[in-house]
Structure 1
Amino acid sequence: MVPIFTPYPSTSEHPERMTTPLENLLLDRSDDGILTITLNRPSKLNALNAATIADIKQAIQLALDDKQVRGIILTGSGEKAFVAGADIAELAGLNEVNGRRFAEQGQEVFCMIEESTKPVIAAVNGFALGGGCELAMACHMRVAAENARFGQPEVNLGVVPGYGGTQRLTQLVGKGKALELLMTGDQLKADEALRLGLVNHVVPAAELLGFCRELLLRILGKGPLAVGMVIDCVNAYFAPERNGYQTEANSFGRCCGSEDFREGTRAFLEKRPAQFQGA
């Protein structure tokens, strides 16, 4: 594994893992450019608090700035939870003013993930509830272990989702089912989440990270400039201030003027694998 920060000593328990200065995350970058971000608050079932949100923001920004990082897997530590929700002790102290700011700060970070031009896959290894479900939905794709559970149970606390859950859940499963899940707080098992389109794949827990790596490597073999523009074009569909068709036409034109396009078409005509450079 290759650290994306100034090197820190390896831990004795995990000699292959390089530690980082982020308190609530573990970051591992493999030689093939895949950065695995692991939320690491196992005693709290990886619940999100303000410090963890700040760590996620820093990790995503560092990943976007690091040319050696080509794709990201986001997962949770332990076998029980991806992210079991928000840290309720912290949540209980909010009022109307700082509650709004709390939601806006989380939305800002999750939008960074959604708008990343580097593909991000959520490897959901257990409970993804509340903020955890919102975090998974901000990723470009979701792969769930068979024991995964999804839900937005905020109404049980007398509050609504604050990190984009009402918007992204509706986009993924449709208005009627989203309203049902948001108003009842019911949880979905992995197979039901797959049926509804909330997740892309369901796999045995032991195969989760390997499956995500294989899926991401398939994507990373394509033109990186085009992959990033696919993300932007799809996001444009859901942005009322943008014209998705025009975004697509502009992106197509930019691709046609790129070295990746010239390499891709040459490689196809010469019947050889393309060597994309992302330019």
Structure 2
Amino acid sequence: MRAKNSKKLRDDALYGWLFASPWVIGLLVFFAVPLISSLYFSFTTYSILQPGEFVGFRNYAELMSDSVFWKSFSNTIYFVVFFVPLSIFFGVALAMLLNMNVRGMSIYRTIFFLPTLVPAVAMAVLWMWLLNPGFGLVNGMLDVIGIQGPAWLGSETWSKPSLILMSLWGIGQSVVIYLAGLNDISQDYYEAGDIDGASWFHKMKSITLPLLTPVIFFNLVMGIIGAFQQFTLPYTMTGGRGTPADSMKFYVMYLYDNGFKFFKMGYASAMAWILFIIVMALTALIFYNSKKWVHYQGE
């Protein structure tokens, strides 16, 4: 009997691996092998056209003295520091507004979600027209109230805030996640708050926000990862140049330039691993600190 059960377990395991093999093979071929290869290439002068030679940490040392690298890194940090908190603040605020029991709310939810369906390139073209300093709609509306609008994308000072504004326009996906989190909060907590005479503000402060922290935590991690990989919008709007004065040159844009324009694939691989380490370190830090501020229902 024991031998029969053992054979059945082996057969079940074999069938399980057979069914899972397409995903396992795909994971190895498309993720594991490129990951290990990029780590090796980061220590070489590999350039796609030539195999290159092993140079140790020279690529990393050159990056530390590369002014464009530091400029792209500072631009990316600027975007992460401002966009991620603002996206969380506006995302939660919009979700709370869209969670109200108002007639026609499904229409409003659809309107706020629609920008996420617009392709990034089309969104870049649209906002380039809206923020045009000469005939753009935004500056036109500012002129009506007597304010002279800035050059926006043509200004070194306003280019990154303009990009943050565009990115905030497309936070509908995170708003949907916040809405799901709000609907998951038990009404028993609010009823208990009503019995205690709690105001709307106190219920939001003591019930809604604490119980929404798991969703905020998820969007925080995903937002940081996505912000560090900002590429499509600035690349489309500047034609890959990062103008003006490299103020729109982001980390992944410079990585792309090194890998596919200058064919310095070893150099680009080193940049990719530095980015990977930074994102992993920040993610680990957030996970470590989450115990202090993330609250789950029933705990």
Taking structure 1 as the reference length, the TM-score comes to 0.25
Larger Rg: 2
Q: Which has the higher contact order (CA 8 A, sep 6+)?
A: 2
Taking structure 2 as the reference length, the TM-score comes to 0.24
Greater helix fraction, Structure 1 or Structure 2: 2
Greater strand fraction, Structure 1 or Structure 2: 1
